[in-house]
Structure 1
Amino acid sequence: MTKGVLIDLSGTVHLGEKEIPGAIAAVRSIRESGLPLRFVTNTSRMTRGMLQELLKRLGLAVPPEHIFTAPRALRGYLRQNGLRPFLLVHPRLHEEFADLRQDEPNAVVIGLAEEEFHYANLNAAFRLLRDGAPLLTMGRTRYFEGEDGLQLDAGPFVVALEYAADTQAKVLGKPSADFFLAAVADLGCRPEEVVMIGDDAASDVDGALAAGLRAILVQTGKYRSGDEEKITRPGGMLARDLAEAATMILSTSREQSREGSGK
């Protein structure tokens, strides 16, 4: 029985500054049903506070603690392990790490750095990795849907550094099972009681299924025809958009409630 919901943001709820049609109403319908939900995102161009403000502008009030972001997870890992990051991230994200020591870096952190992915920065990261620094990333996503079409994400740059430095990156965002399970625990649920909704077949759906959740791939955002065939694990579902995904969850939940009550 569904007892909690996780929802991706970019490509599922919004594209840039614009709501995906019907998405905010769908979130409200899930809330009104009594099902708890959390937002989980690998977005690495905006801080959690910025995301909260964006959702507010779209008409959705969300407590900051209900937004699980890969940058926050990575920051927690750095603090826990006493690491000093070399930040190869978007300029907006630097404030997320401002309270950490960054002199004499002993870890490389990668997000969607955009113009910061230039040769000097990549080469500095490569040299640190060759000296034994760990490579930490917010995700391995290849691309995402921007307001003007598909755009490269951080994944290709992560792979380039892995290849050059003969190392393996540790992912702190989706599809990391730990990332999903932290949000599940915050819901007070077991993994099998939670449904993840997102537009990325690999990070959102396969990642959630691997962590023991159920998952729905929506045909918005970065979705392209046939992406559902990239889901390698059984149990993934397909919906036209977040509105249809919400309807699927709520109708199934009502049926399960009736069966449980013997009606």
Structure 2
Amino acid sequence: MIKGILVDLSGTIHVGETAIPGAIEALSRLEGAGLIVRFVTNTSRKTRKMLHGDLVRMGFGMPQEHIFTAPLAVRRYLEANGLRPHLLVHRNLVAEYDGLPQDEPDAVVVGYAQDDFTYRNMNEAFRLLKKGARLLATGRTRYFEGTNGLDLDAGPFVTALEYAAETQAVVLGKPSADFFAAAAAEACLAPEECVMVGDDAESDVGAALQAGLKGVLVQTGKYRPGDEAKISGHFTLAKDISAAADAILAQLG
């Protein structure tokens, strides 16, 4: 029984500052059918509050509490484990970790740092890892659909640090099964009661299937022809979020 929908943001319901045609109406139809709709993202350029503001300006009406982000999952992990972070994240995101002790860091947090992925900053993170700091990542996504085409995401930089420091990152965003489970739990649902809708074949749909969710891959955003071959397991391929909503509602009968 499908009870809830987890929806990716960038590339799935919007690209840049523009809503994908039909996205607002599609989400309304899903909620109108009695489904719980929540939003999940690895986006680590903005705080949840900033993301919500952007979405509202595009015409979306979800409350901020319905957005579950990888940086939020990282903060919860740091708090639960009493860790002091060294931040290699986007400057917009530093405020997301306000209040956490950051002296003598014992964890390196890597998100999408954009222009702050300099040699100096990567080397500083590397040295902390070699001293025993834990490597925490918002995700392993290779790239995303930017305003002017595909842009490198945090994943390649996480992999570089793993290789250099001979360590393994704890991934707290997609494609971590724990991330999907936590997002479902926020809606008081079990993973098997949820469908994940996204434009990333591996981190959105393939990983969701591995975590026990159902999946719908939309052919918008970062999707490129042939991406569906990267997915192992049964899923639905949809032209866009509107077609995804049609397919999900059809399964409800």
- Counterpart code for 1:241: D
Q: Which residue of 1 aligns with 2:199?
A: 199
Distance (Å, rounded) in 2 between the aligned partners of 1:147 and 1:22: 20
Matched, 1:46 2:46: yes
Distance in 2, Cα, partners of 1:236 & 1:177:
17
Deviates more, 1:134-143 or 1:98-107: 98-107
The equivalent of 1:214 in structure 2 is: 214
In the other structure, the counterpart of 2:245 is 246
Q: SS at the partner of 2:157?
A: helix
- 2:22 corresponds to which residue? 22
Matched, 1:119 2:119: yes
CA deviation after TM superposition for structure 1 residue 213, in Å? 0.5
Deviation beyond 4 Å, 4+ runs, structure 1: none
Matched, 1:77 2:109: no
For residues 72 and 190 of structure 1, what CA distance do their matches in structure 2 show? 20
Cα distance in 2 for partners of 1:196, 1:241 equals 13
Question: How far is the alpha carbon of 1:22 from its aligned partner?
Answer: 1.1
Cα drift, residue 117 of structure 1: 0.3
- Specify the code of the residue in structure 2 equivalent to 1:87: L
- Unpaired runs of 5+ residues, structure 2, are none
- Secondary structure at the aligned position of 2:60 is classed as coil
Match of 1:261 in 2: none
Name 2:36's counterpart in structure 1: 36
Residue 166 of structure 2 corresponds to 166
Q: TM-score, normalised by structure 1?
A: 0.94
- 1:187 is displaced (CA, Å) by 2.3
Residue 242 of structure 1 deviates from its aligned partner by 0.3
Does residue 185 of structure 1 match 2:191?
no
Match of 1:259 in 2: none
Contact 1:52 1:61 in 2 (8 A): no
Larger radius of gyration: 1
Any idea what SS the aligned residue of 2:222 has?
coil
Q: Is the 8 A contact 1:24 1:58 kept in 2?
A: no
User: Is 1:175 aligned to 2:158, yes or no?
Assistant: no
Cα distance in 2, alignment partners of residues 37 and 66 from structure 1: 8
For 1:240 and 1:110, the matched residues in 2 are separated by 33
Work out the CA distance in 1 between the residues paired with 2:211 and 2:167: 24
What RMSD in Å do the two structures reach over aligned CA positions? 0.9
